[in-house]
Homo-oligomer: A and B are copies of this chain.
Amino acid sequence: MAEGEGTTYHMTPDEFRRWGAEAVEWVARYMEKVEEFPVLSRSAPGDIRRSLPPHPPDRGEPFDAIFRDLDEVIMPGITHWQSPRFFGYFPANVSGPSILGELLSAGLGVQGMLWSTSPACTELETHVLDWLVELFGLPERFLSSGAGGGVIQDSASSAALCALLAARERATEGASNRRGVDRRLTVYTTSQAHSSIEKAVRVAGLGSEALRLVGVDERYSMRPPDLERALEEDVRSGHLPCLVSATVGTTSSNAIDPIAAIGEVCRRHGVWLHVDSAMSGVAAVCPELRFVNDGLEAADSYCVNPHKWMFVNFDCDAFYVADRAALVGALSILPEYLRNTATESGAVIDYRDWQIPLGRRFRALKLWATVRHYGAEGLRHHVRKHVRMAAQLAEQVAADGDFELVAPVPLNLVCFRHRAGDEVNQRILDRLNSSGELFLTHTRLGGALILRMSIGAAATEPRHVEEAWNAIRRVAAEVQRG
């Protein structure tokens, strides 16, 4: 806020220096004390809104009022995803270099919808996504130097939708975009796939009934013979299979679909194979964990989220296609006001044609800053550490008479339950989460309530996992005593 006659109302560069220093200090202090907060917010519905003024301010306010309210009003309503004791969902870890990349991107304020609207925004993105192909050991067909290439999407949900749109157009030779979908199109995944697959199937106009849930084995992985049978039956009955969406590391239990065998089936049927490796794909930064890439050569599209397990703050999903022409064909519309020489030369990428929205910010900066800060070495260090902590916890659970492991632990997610049944597990979960000591989420596997402990926050150390396991056992004993 600036006052007086002749004010511009803008925050001046010097004011920005002052409040910017405060904001950096605020974030640095948050990093230092994030462990001290109760992990799950204790707010009740409406608590935050009740503390906010009902009307927008007519006159500007000094920025320190915002910091004050941030501490007093907002913070009690935060669930601390960056806490070392956050074990819910999948991680969404962040880091200093990524936060600074986001700051610089906001400061530059450029739009990357076309190459020409800021060439560096497009070229850095293409370049760093090519780097990730090397960093993760992904198939070369995803490199931009061939027919494929990568793009940053906001999330794996949007990546799945884009994959489906490209697959839909390929299967119908572009007719869906012109004439609309017909009800012959079908899509294949498992009951363990992320909800974004069903959402994409609905959004794209195919309808949930077009989604086939292929059977899974005892490890919750897709059974390729079941996929083949489903495809054959659908083809026989006049359907037009367009997409198989396989998962490497399901949200429920980190199950890994057998991509190579699924790819064989897709190849025989000419169906687009999308592989969602949103969290687990990051493990490929470690050569010894590259089993997560097994069979990926057969994938038409692939996504992995640096914003989950690679210290890049949301949003940063890396989405790759083997044939970028199929994706662009599905998504490109060129109105006059976006025409420009560079686009018409065909020598550049316009990322607006690789995504649903038109506008896009300079997200490659934070990915670039993070990869450069850590180097492959630093990223490997943390993935290995998280995997090691999960393995150790899994051993402890397996050795405990009261608990049982309920799924393999290929990476950093441990799924387990107390042997006393759903009600006890629910009470353990509720009591742990309301304690503020740690945060876990649940799922259901084989009909039973399962506790999930997902280990991937940047600050999590072995002692946090040990303390969590002690808390789980302590609370289990309390719950059983009634």
Contact = CB atoms under 8 A, between A and B. Distances in A.
A315 B359 contact: yes
A92 B79 contact: no
A27 B31 contact: no
A251 to B, nearest CB: 5
Interface in A335-393: 335-339, 342, 345, 347-348, 356-361, 365, 368-369, 371-378, 381-382
Contacts of A378: 1, 9, 59-60
B28 A20 contact: yes
Interface stretch (A199-207, A226-234, A286-294, A463-471): A199-207
A106 interface: yes
Given A52-B124, A57-B372, A195-B335, A108 B30 contact: yes
B131 A55 contact: yes
B180 A30 contact: no
Contact of A10 (B95, B124, B252): B95
Contacts of A218: none
Contacts of A313: 106, 109, 361
A325 interface: no
B107 A26 contact: yes
Given A41-B119, A77-B118, A102 B102 contact: yes
A49 B126 CA distance: 9
Interface string A266-292: 000000000000000000000000000
Interface stretch (A255-263, A398-406, A441-449, A473-481): A441-449
Given A155-B358, A165-B203, A209-B179, A16 B31 contact: yes
Mostly helix, strand, loop or mixed at chain A's interface?
helix
Interface string A71-111: 00111111111100000010011111111101110111111
A412 interface: no
Interface in A421-458: 441-444, 452, 458
A359 B154 contact: yes
B16 A96 contact: yes
A180 B195 contact: no
A395 interface: no
A320 B45 CA distance: 21
A263 to B, nearest CB: 26
**Copies of this chain in the oligomer:** 2
A199 B333 contact: yes
A264 to B, nearest CB: 28
B124 A74 contact: yes
A185 interface: yes
B180 A119 contact: no
B77 A119 contact: yes
B251 A337 contact: yes
Interface string A110-121: 110001111111
Interface string A140-176: 0000000000000011011001000100100000011
A36 interface: no
29 contacts: A1-B374, A9-B374, A9-B378, A13-B31, A16-B27, A43-B123, A45-B345, A46-B347, A47-B123, A48-B124, A56-B135, A59-B377, A66-B372, A74-B120, A74-B365, A81-B111, A111-B314, A158-B356, A165-B202, A177-B208, A178-B207, A178-B208, A180-B209, A194-B335, A203-B204, A205-B205, A315-B359, A336-B444, A337-B452
Instruction: In the A-B complex, list the 9 residue pairs whose CB atoms are closest, starting with the nearest.
Output: A205-B205, A77-B120, A11-B96, A180-B207, A9-B378, A20-B24, A27-B107, A48-B123, A60-B375
